[in-house]
Structure 1
Amino acid sequence: MTNHPLSTHLADTAKFTASHAGMVPEVDSSLPWLVSGAVLMVQQACVIALSEAGAELPLMPGPNELVARVADETILAQPFTVPLKPAQHRAFEPLVAARNDVMHPRPTGLNIDAARLPDAIIVATTITRHLALTQPVRRFMIADTDQAAIKDALGQIETSVEFWRTVLVD
């Protein structure tokens, strides 16, 4: 088994998410993968930042809890704290709810409201960008090649979301 740095996992997840963000308007089955990838991407960025800062992590933290921790300057000191407004916290919640729907299927199938997701996905890219690129806790926390891949993937996700916002959202 090869041991890869956490930043490589984050870069891989960001690229995976970007590929599905680009396919959503044409491939319905990409939406669940986009949702799952976007939440995992945020979780990975949060765990990397909190770990590098020496913050205590609960055994099985949920994505909303991790986001709350990286946005709390008593847990993740300034300037590393993610500057999220209350509206951004609320905007992220439908993404987590959609991911939960994907991860815990019901007999009636998936019920993902795509109209509520563009803002949530932009919040996900904002969190990831801040923690991994803009203000990493440690200078070399993210490998240079992973930084480039993450930056490119986040840009692709945002471009795709802006496009499919007009296609999917009434």
Structure 2
Amino acid sequence: MAQSLPSLINESARFTAVHAALVSDDQTSVTWLVSGAILMVQQACVLALSEAGADMPAMPGPNELVVRVADPAILPQPYTAPMKPDDHRALERVVAARNDVMHPRPGGLHLEADMLPDGVLTAVKLVRHLLLTQPVRPSMVEASDAAAVSHSLELIESSVDFWKTVLKAR
């Protein structure tokens, strides 16, 4: 089965939006939310870097990809991702949570859900910038995929805003 990277990003964004909506009612969706958010970030970074002709290691991790898209020496302006130190730290917490999900431990899984919303919102901001706001090549994402990804990102933001409200109330 062949599927384009923009189409895969669309699917990852949709998957993440579904689980973002479920988190406030079903904490088990946190594991899928962090997994989907990081996958969508990795896919968006790879697409932007490949469109820019940047060299990539064979198996780059999500943090390495994010550092690369935020480096103007690798992804030139105006395409460079606008990542501040707080954005990197917030996203690193989501990556760490995703790693805990993907690499189980004998004692099980314990995620600090209240530490994750800012990182998920950073993931949304990053994907939006790389695919929709300042794509390396405007035609790298079909209009239908761009519209669908945009809608999914809006749903994620709305759900995380609600989730943050629920977490504060507890």
Which residue number corresponds to residue 141 of structure 1?
140
Which residue number corresponds to residue 54 of structure 2?
55
Which residue number corresponds to residue 120 of structure 1?
119
Matches within 5 A, 1:3-152: 3-152=2-151
Q: Which runs of 5+ in 2 are unaligned?
A: none
Aligned-residue offset at 1:47? 0.2
Q: Which runs of 5+ in 1 are unaligned?
A: none
Percent of aligned pairs with the same amino acid:
58
Task: Tell me how far apart the structure 1 counterparts of residues 93 and 144 of structure 2 sit (CA, whole Å).
Answer: 32
Q: Which amino acid is 2:135 matched to?
A: P
Task: Tell me how far apart the structure 1 counterparts of residues 67 and 3 of structure 2 sit (CA, whole Å).
Answer: 27
Aligned-residue offset at 1:168? 2.4
Aligned-residue offset at 1:52? 0.4
Q: Which runs of 4+ in 1 moved over 2 A?
A: none
Aligned-residue offset at 1:59? 0.9
Task: Tell me how far apart the structure 2 counterparts of residues 28 and 111 of structure 1 sit (CA, whole Å).
Answer: 11
Report the aligned-residue RMSD: 0.8
Q: Which amino acid is 1:150 matched to?
A: V
Q: Which amino acid is 2:164 matched to?
A: R
Q: Which amino acid is 1:134 matched to?
A: T
Aligned-residue offset at 1:129? 0.2
Aligned-residue offset at 1:153? 0.3
Q: How many residues align?
A: 169
SS at match of 2:90: helix
Q: Which amino acid is 2:134 matched to?
A: Q
Deviation string 1:67-97 (CA, Å, 9 cap, x unpaired) is: 0000000000000000111111111111000
TM-score when normalising by structure 2: 0.97
